[in-house]
Amino acid sequence: MSNTPVKQGHPDGLMTLFFSEMWERFCYYGMRTLLTLYLVKSLLKGDAEASLIYGAYTGLVYAAPILGGRLADQFLGYRYAVILGGLMMALGEFLILGGTENTMLIGMGALIIGNGYFKANISTIVGKLYTDNDPRRDSGFTIFYIGINVGALLATTLVAYVGETYGFDKGFGLAGIGMLLGIFIFWSQRKSYSAAPGLEVTEAGKKKSLMGLTNQQLITIGSFLLIPLCYVLIMQNQWLDYILLGLFGYVSWSLISAGSKADSENNVAIWKDRMIALIIFMVINISFWACFEQAGTSLTLFADRNVDRMIFGWEMPASMTQFFNPFFIITFGSIFSIMWVKLSAMGKNPSIPLKFAFGIIQLAAGFLLTQVGMQFVNESFQVPLMTLFFLYMLHTTGELFLSPIGLSMVTKLAPKNIAGTAMGAWFLSFAIANYVGGKIASITGSHGGEPLTGQAGLEQYISIFTTIGFVLLGFAFLIILLNKPIKKLMHGVE
């Protein structure tokens, strides 16, 4: 495959996709940053209800790419899927401007379906710019990952500030404009990534089906018809208990069955063990991200009520405290990528189970740091802003032990013929984690449905954050104890 190189030695299309994804993340994180505060302050939802709505929404957002990727592969092609997804996301943001619960839920539905198309397929296009053995691939994805976090950083500063200072509607509107800008870049610069295969609508997509419409047209119409389903699932979020649990059981069975089949073909019992290891890592991943994702719910409400956010006479908006995570990702990301290479060269690179355990220990330490903040409480029962600064720093370094490692691990553990299914399973673990995270957040900061304020609120938050920290520590040490058995199941995958 020939691609015209740019200065960095990467295909031209990489920077087009970088900026398109950056603005899509600006849109998504702009919505996410403001959502809990909007639910509590504008729609007057209780903390628990707001957290459950948030958890259902973000859970569905992470589940949607499983379907979006498959439909693009079989029918839509990657370019059309990305454009459809982006337009649906922008529409979702603008629908929220209606200012009612109904318009918010319809808008969230459009964002969920749109994200499923956009997120799944723009990453695929990045991969398609490179041949299988191209040494630039990992570097290209690292650059792309930086774009994701620049978008998140812009959202958690600019959108957060505008939304809390000038009105939530202004913040959501700004996020929608960002998405339109991303789509404009993606479409106007389409020649730059035209060498990537799979961009066009497939023959199956062009085939006429029901009522003389092509499958592409039917899927487009069906995508909008799925919005009411998302509306219902967010409102009746208890249904997701059974849906996500059922999906996890089905996916686990599918992985083990596929592994057993691969073993019978090769007469070597390796793949089944590796699929069992992958399921174990999915459980670990759920535990990590369910606690990490308190950022958008309980930690934001904690920042709003019990954190002193004054900086030289200026009060930082509560939602803006979420910017620490993308800031630290950008700061530490390249350092970590170099660190793994150095440790590997020295023969001291920790095993994947140990990396996951160390990541969870750092996550736990971040929550336990709130106990230190308690020693510096002011007269308004607020801890210093530096409490959140160091909490998010530890959460981010913990994330860097898991997130990029996990994606790489999935591609190594799974047989090639089910690589897509395995990656879908990995995304499902994020969906479950976000939903469980909403349930965890629903028990923080309130009592009997009423938000606690002042000293009572502070003590409730710190007590629950401390409990989360100790539970995570116990889980991390269990993983360390099981390091060798898990490594044995992985059969040499490092």
The answer to whether the beta carbons of residues 425 and 278 sit under 8 Å apart is yes
Q: Which of 325, 300, 469, 340 is nearest to 397 (CA)?
A: 325
What is the pLDDT, as a whole number, of residue 427? 87
What is the pLDDT, as a whole number, of residue 124? 85
Number of domains present in the structure of the chain: 2
169 and 259 assigned to the same domain? no
Tokens of 480: 């360390």
111-125, 133-147, 180-194, 222-236, range with the lowest pLDDT: 133-147
Is residue 301 in some structural domain?
yes
321 and 188 assigned to the same domain? no
Instruction: Measure the CA–CA gap between 283 and 482, rounded to whole angstroms.
Output: 14
- Residue that terminates a domain, selected from 237, 271, 300: 237
346 and 489 assigned to the same domain? yes
- Residue that terminates a domain, selected from 222, 237, 252: 237
360 and 464 assigned to the same domain? yes
323 and 212 assigned to the same domain? no
CATH number at residue 340: 1.20.1250.20
148 and 201 assigned to the same domain? yes
398 and 479 assigned to the same domain? yes
Position with higher pLDDT, 183 vs 134:
183
Three-state SS letters, the chain: CCCCECCCCCECHHHHHHHHHHHHHHHHHHHHHHHHHHHHHHCCCCHHHHHHHHHHHHHHHHHHHHHHHHHHHHHHCHHHHHHHHHHHHHHHHHHHCCCCHHHHHHHHHHHHHHHHHHHHHHHHHHHHCCCCCCCCHHHHHHHHHHHHHHHHHHHHHHHHHHHHHHCHHHHHHHHHHHHHHHHHHHHHCHHHHCCCCCCCCCHHHHCECHHHCEHHHHHHHHHHHCHHHHHHHHHCCCHHHHHHHHHHHHHHHHHHHHHHHHHHHHCCCCHHHHHHHHHHHHHHHHHHHHHHHHHHCHHHHHHHHHEECEECCEECCHHHHHHHHHHHHHHHHHHHHHHHHHHHHHCCCCCHHHHHHHHHHHHHHHHHHHHHHHHHCCCCCCEEHHHHHHHHHHHHHHHHHHHHHHHHHHHHHCCHHHHHHHHHHHHHHHHHHHHHHHHHHCCCCEECCEECCHHHHHHHHHHHHHHHHHHHHHHHHHHHHCHHHHHHHHCCCC
Is residue 2 in some structural domain?
no
Beta strand 307-308 with 314-315: parallel, antiparallel or unpaired? unpaired
CB within 8 Å of 166: residues ≥ 6 apart = none
200 and 253 assigned to the same domain? no
Q: What is the pLDDT of residues 66-92, one digit of tens each?
A: 889 889 988 999 999 999 999 999 999
What is the pLDDT, as a whole number, of residue 4? 43
What is the pLDDT, as a whole number, of residue 253? 93
CB within 8 Å of 392: residues ≥ 6 apart = 295, 321, 324, 325, 328, 366
Q: Rounded to the nearest 5°, which phi and psi values hold at 254?
A: -60, -45
- Residue that terminates a domain, selected from 183, 208, 237: 237
- Could you tell me the CA-to-CA distances from 280 to 3, 24, 285 in Å, in that order? 40, 32, 9
Tokens of 321: 């405290």
188 and 308 assigned to the same domain? no
Considering the chain, what is the average pLDDT of its residues?
Answer: 91
The answer to whether the beta carbons of residues 20 and 400 sit under 8 Å apart is no
Q: Which residue segment(s) compose the domain that 482 sits in?
A: 241-494
Position with higher pLDDT, 408 vs 351:
351
Q: What is the pLDDT of residues 19-70, one digit of tens each?
A: 999 999 999 999 999 999 999 999 999 999 999 999 999 999 999 988 898 8
Rg (CA), the chain: 22
- pLDDT over 70 percentage in the chain: 96
Q: How confident is the model at residue 287 (pLDDT cuts 50, 70, 90)?
A: very high
- Tokens 């174990």, residue located: 280
Q: Is 50 exceeded by the pLDDT of residue 192?
A: yes
Is residue 1 in some structural domain?
no
What is the pLDDT, as a whole number, of residue 262? 76
Position with higher pLDDT, 62 vs 344:
62
